[in-house]
């Protein structure tokens, strides 16, 4: 069965829809420029309602070390997601400092972008492949050419992100057979505002693949 991560949750209604709909991962964004950003206190409150069967992921982009420490040391995250220009040394440091699994995002526009993924595979615990954008922070609602990933030699568990919606996940599954789908803008009524109905519909469709 396909697993699903609902990312960019900011309030209880969206979180409830994700949990009740069967999400396997929920994501909280700690990147202030994002319309989906939350403070550590808000995320901790939301995370307190997440059952232990659902993994809580914190998304950071070239994080300020003080913010990262303040967030992670509160103990409500199960995984750190890095969506910026972080290098392998930084990932090793985080794993050593906090003992949490780290997921590294690779932003993809063409096959050549996958070279970045190859150097992170031995270090990261998870990989996530997203659409390459000018900002590099994701959540744009745009897909990339999934076929470039078709023969990628995955060494670690991985997620597919970037413009996923209830209407295109069957095609993504047909091309790549990803084990985890990561959605954010595809379950929103407007930028940064999660739609509980869309969350439930996405989860139902994904779980039926």
203 and 4 in contact (C-beta within 8 Å)? yes
- Annotation says 89 is catalytic: no
146 vs 156: CA distance, rounded Å:
18
- 3-class DSSP assignment, residue 46: helix
72 vs 51: CA distance, rounded Å:
18
Alpha carbon distance, N-terminus to C-terminus of the chain:
7
Catalytic residue among 41, 130, 151, 182: 130
Sort strands 188-190 and 193-194 into parallel, antiparallel or unpaired: antiparallel
Catalytic residue among 7, 24, 145, 182: 7
Q: What are phi and psi of 131, to 5 degrees?
A: -75, 130
Sorted by sequence, the CB contacts under 8 Å of residue 8 that are 6+ apart come out as 27, 28, 29, 34, 36, 59, 139, 184, 185, 188, 192, 194
Catalytic residues: 7, 130
């Amino acid at each position: 069965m396909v697993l699903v991560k609902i990312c960019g949750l900011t309030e209880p209604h969206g979180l409830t829809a994700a949990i009740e709909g069967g999400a396997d991962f929920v994501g909280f964004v700690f990147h202030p420029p994002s319309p989906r950003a939350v403070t550590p206190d808000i995320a901790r409150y939301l995370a307190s309602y997440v059952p232990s069967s659902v993994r809580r992921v914190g998304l950071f982009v070239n994080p300020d070390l003080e913010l990262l420490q303040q967030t992670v040391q509160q103990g409500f995250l199960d995984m750190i997601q890095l969506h910026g220009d972080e290098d392998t040394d930084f990932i090793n440091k985080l794993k050593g400092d906090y003992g949490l699994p780290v997921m590294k995002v690779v932003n993809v526009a063409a096959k050549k972008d996958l070279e970045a993924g190859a150097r992170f595979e031995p270090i990261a615990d998870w990989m996530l492949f997203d659409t390459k954008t000018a900002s590099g922070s994701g959540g744009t609602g745009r897909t990339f050419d999934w076929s470039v990933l078709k023969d990628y030699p995955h060494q670690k568990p991985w997620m597919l992100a970037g413009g996923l919606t209830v209407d295109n996940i069957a095609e993504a599954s047909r091309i790549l057979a990803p084990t985890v789908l990561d959605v954010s803008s595809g379950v929103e009524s407007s930028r940064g505002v999660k739609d509980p109905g869309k969350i439930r519909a996405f989860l139902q469709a994904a779980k039926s693949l």
